[in-house]
Structure 1
């Protein structure tokens, strides 16, 4: 029997500010039936996550619901009654958060957090709860769950932390799940596993789910209905196949056109344009402050070269060296990146992609092998050489929120590297440069005076990219740079990176689990698994004729947006 588990009627969410009231959500109505997955899509800042937060009573202050009602299995719940929500939250309605790092307690093991949730809501004893925690970790794809259950969040990769968050949401066997970008940090193999898990959960246990995502492939793959949001309002809703194959609204059509294809390479990404939008700013880098970075000496050798790089992490500490155990994170990694080219790294979460980027930038020191930048071994550089290398080599991190200082305004965050490397003659000039960089990445100059918490996840990632550009780098390490971005902002950022590369000769290492983005952006790529390179070569050749079975498997698991429609 189909029944409505969650109903949202005429929802309005406001945030009072010193400059007036900001309306984040206006007149939003949704119904989610038992066993149904309803997708909510739209640009970063459209209000998607706010709708989910309102449904579970987690609107952050000073935000408030000023109109509308929320019903759970027919019973109206009052968002202002914290006692009522505390009894429902977790047990009846659960949430998978967008940012796994900030939703896990860093000083408790993942097992302790799972056991606490299971015992609180299901009434199990310690042993039963631990067994259930191990079962959940195994279900969401954590290898060796019997041992990993005793690890802390920082010991997991970004994708594995997201899997732990999903396990926490499933732990209480809720009736409704709000999934806010649940597959953002996941590679295609784990994403396919998680989507099947979520679909099976809804089909077998009749759980109702709101799936907030910017991934149109995920929407096509798993949802029954979809709602498209723009500036706090739903502009189109209907069955997924109908909306994606024959969109009626101009914004929906524009949004779908920005989805990067995996079956061909584009010269440039289409950008979303709609009604009164002025569009994203065109960048003439030849006459821009960033253009002053031109003029690097041409070199015949690769700009970056890794030769037989190995890295071990201590997995079992002991006072006696003979009793210590080590985990090999990187096993004889070798590749080269020519000046002005983009090299891609793909593979499962935990395969070592992000670890390589940290070795290259000097955050980790390899056990053996060499890393050479512009012909110089980075491990032999003196202090002055290291400082100059860090100016020329910048990184865009996977997790935008934890890489930004929450106590600083965005402008202050951006001017810090500019002043450190003496790229501006005064603080005033540095601030003007920071405002211009924010304008380039589509946030506007006014964003300089705001704090990171005032932005959505995708907007924070744009801030991270602006900060990476602030030193006018020669080499950019992009660790999942578009994982938190919707397709419209992703198109803007990828076009910007291409402009930087074409006009400035920028060289990039592009780490991503999005195989469509890798095909569009990279000249060469390597496929990684368990710390080793399985296959590497020219991108077009690997996509058209993969030689390794693992590469073929990854390509087969990509959600097919076009065929699904």
Structure 2
């Protein structure tokens, strides 16, 4: 008897005009101690299967057919199903954690709900779990709130939360999306150890085929809600039978060499139009002109940059404690260049990005943009003009979009704020063009963010960032939530934007194959400091720093 048996599952989302079928007649099983990889493009129905198993489908979603069995028992009849028997690691760590409670409160509450422990025992278990998922100084960090952690560290907290109840089945929905390769390897080792030593069944939902190749025992491939192929991992990776699976594997970015363009998904079902590369056709974006970017020297200069965060407050200064997020950082970003910034979670990458964007003020050092020291700009008009030229695409698309605003209003907001259009009809045309550029279509403007998948929400974020026609774009993990086909489209689009608009890009990512394809130079950070800065090919072929060599050796590979 299988730990999990899904038989002819169909999930529908009815509306007034039609019914959308998210999952269509899917049959799957997971044995104890087995890791099943569930792959496919964004919107294929992977996460829907996980939420259906957990009984967490949002209304009006419903299971319209089939059955879900846990150890032969109907999942809907199991009283302690969620948490005790089945745990889920969600794709978005920030929305999975309560911002009003410390990590200790959230972990110990979950542990004591499902296991008989005293408060002290639960606290010790929570510290042990944080240590297992790779959070240094767990005894101190457990007393902090979710907002005090980086995106990757929050994901590790969510993983620890899922392990609190010692479940029989873990549904891991993109569990390593926000993690660097070193921590990713550690988390995947932990998942494999749970499967082998405790007999835990795992459904690993991911778009990272390298992770699947190194972790999963079996692979199920989904396309538009249907299961198109299933088999042993080695067979699926090396001898795929379905044309879609073949196309999906061909689109995976390679880490061993650099290409001019990211390979696109070529599969098309019978009668469907051929997939189109997204191209820059919007004259409004081009109309900024290249004259603004004419100049000499680097566009961005960072000198002696430092930032520290207060971790424990006290009346007396000597009793306060701090963490140095960034220490004495120096680098330049040349005009028209894509500079990659890599390093483990918590190394200070996002803090650097926020300081350059003007969200955080540095404690030490200076940031110069096009010859202007950003800290010395006194005029509010000049500051606004500068901010219009620097835009940021955040790591977490859902929390960076207002859930109460329609997409067209989200994209139009920076246009209104910066007075870049004169009439409402002109604004509407610009917003429609931007949504077309990022591959969503103008009709998407009428919807709300929750109606889109994670990858589609990231495209909304990109459209909003382009709305001010910036000169400098900061991309903080812009493709971490995207499957390989959409990732290729987005990254090829960013390359086109750079060429057409003389755009300069700071590209932050933990996906080293993507960094190799995307960037002209790469800077490696660790513990807030710069380890190495070199031309991309030189860094990948002959890294000088031991930490850089370690990162490259841990790259997942097919």
Q: What range is the shorter-chain TM-score in?
A: over 0.9
- Return the match for 1:232 from 225, 230, 235: 225
Quote the residue 1:44 is aligned against: 42
Partner of 1:81: none
Question: Does 2:455 match 1:453?
Answer: no
Partner Cα separation in structure 2 for residue 432 and residue 460 of structure 1:
20
In structure 2, the residue matched to 1:294 is: 289
Q: Give distance in 1, aligned partners of 2:122 and 2:547.
A: 35
DSSP-derived class of the 2:388 partner: helix
Aligned partner of 1:545 among 542, 545, 548: 542
2:19 alignment partner, one of 18, 21, 43 = 21
2:352 match? 356
The separation in 2 between residues aligned to 1:419 and 1:451, in whole angstroms, is 19
Residue 121 (str. 1) matches residue 114 (str. 2) = yes
**TM-score (normalizing by structure 2):** 0.98
- CA–CA distance in structure 1, aligned partners of residues 284 and 273 of structure 2: 26
2:336 corresponds to: 340
Q: Cα–Cα, structure 1 residues 55 and 374, in superposed 2: closer, same or farther, change >3 Å?
A: same
After the TM superposition, which of the residue ranges 433-442 and 35-44 deviates more from structure 2?
Answer: 433-442
For residues 280 and 175 of structure 1, the distance between their equivalents in structure 2, rounded to whole angstroms, comes to: 43
1:200 to 184, 193, 210: 193
Give how far 1:272 is off. 1.3
Partner of 1:385: 382
1:424 corresponding residue in structure 2: 421
Larger CA deviation: 269-278 vs 216-225: 269-278
Q: Are 2:475 and 1:485 aligned?
A: no
The answer to whether the aligner puts 1:500 opposite 2:497 as a matched pair is: yes
Residue 517 of structure 2 is matched in structure 1 by: 520
Aligned to 1:182: 175
CA distance in structure 2 between the aligned counterparts of 1:440 and 1:19, rounded to whole angstroms: 28
Q: What residue number does 1:103 align with?
A: 96
User: 2:215 matched to 1:222?
Assistant: yes
* Counterpart residue number, 1:165: 158
CA offsets, 1:398-426, max 9 Å, x none?
A: 01000000000001000111121122221
Q: 1:284 offset after TM fit, Å?
A: 4.2
Q: Match of 2:461?
A: 464
Assess, with a 3 A threshold, how the Cα gap between structure 1 residues 473 and 86 changes in structure 2: closer, same or farther: farther
Aligned mates of 2:461, 2:335 — CA distance in 1? 23
Deviations 1:48-101 (A, max 9, x none): 1000100111111110101000000111222xxxxx455211001110000000
- With 319-328 and 386-395 compared, the bigger mean Cα shift is at 319-328
**Aligned-residue offset at 1:294:** 2.0
- TM-superposition CA deviations, 1:470-507 (whole Å, max 9, x none): 11110000000000000000000000000001111100
Distance 2:273 2:125 in 1: 50
Deviation at 1:388, TM superposition (A): 0.8
Query: For 2:35 and 2:340, how far apart are their aligned partners in 1?
Result: 33
SS in 1 for 2:331: strand
The answer on whether the counterparts of 2:293 and 2:502 sit within 8 Å (CA) in structure 1 is no
Structure 1 position 320, deviation (Å): 2.1
Quick one: distance in 2 between partners of 1:527 and 1:209? 33
Q: Following TM superposition, where does structure 1 have runs of at least 4 consecutive aligned residues deviating by more than 3 angstroms?
A: none
Would you say how many aligned residue pairs link Structure 1 and Structure 2?
553
2:539 is paired with a residue whose SS is helix
The answer (yes or no) to whether the contact 2:277–2:489 under 8 Å persists in 1 is no
Quick one: which of 400, 405, 412 aligns to 2:397?
400
Following the alignment from structure 1 to structure 2, what is the Cα–Cα distance between the partners of residues 19 and 378?
A: 52
Shifted more, 489-498 versus 252-261: the winner is 252-261
RMSD: 1.1
- What is the deviation of 1:517? 0.8
Please give the per-residue CA displacement for 1:275-331, whole angstroms capped at 9, x wherever unaligned: 21442354244x622111222141111000100101111122112223222211110
Distance in 1 (CA, whole Å) between partners of 2:213 and 2:273 is 27
Deviations 1:9-29 (A, max 9, x none): 111111112331111110111
Scaled by the length of structure 1, the TM-score of the pair is: 0.96
Cα 1:448–1:281, aligned 2, differ >3 Å: closer, same or farther?
farther
1:129-167 deviation per Cα after TM superposition (whole angstroms, max 9, x unaligned): 001000000000000011111111001000000000000
| CA deviation string 1:95-127 (max 9, x = no partner) | 000000000010001111110111111111101
Q: For structure 1, which runs of at least 5 residues remain unmatched after alignment?
A: 79-83
1:101 match: secondary structure? helix
Q: Is the 8 A contact 1:352 1:531 kept in 2?
A: yes
2:87 alignment partner, one of 84, 94, 119: 94
Question: In structure 1, how many angstroms separate the alpha carbons of the residues matched to 2:205 and 2:247?
Answer: 19
- Kindly indicate whether the alpha-carbon contact (under 8 Å) linking 1:189 and 1:554 is maintained by their aligned counterparts in 2: yes
How many Å separate the matches in 2 of 1:208 and 1:420?
50
Which residue, 404, 423, 440 being the options, matches 2:437? Answer: 440
Matched residue of 1:293: which SS?
coil
Other structure's SS at 1:339 match: coil
Indicate if the aligned counterparts of 1:56 and 1:85 stay in contact, CA closer than 8 A.
no
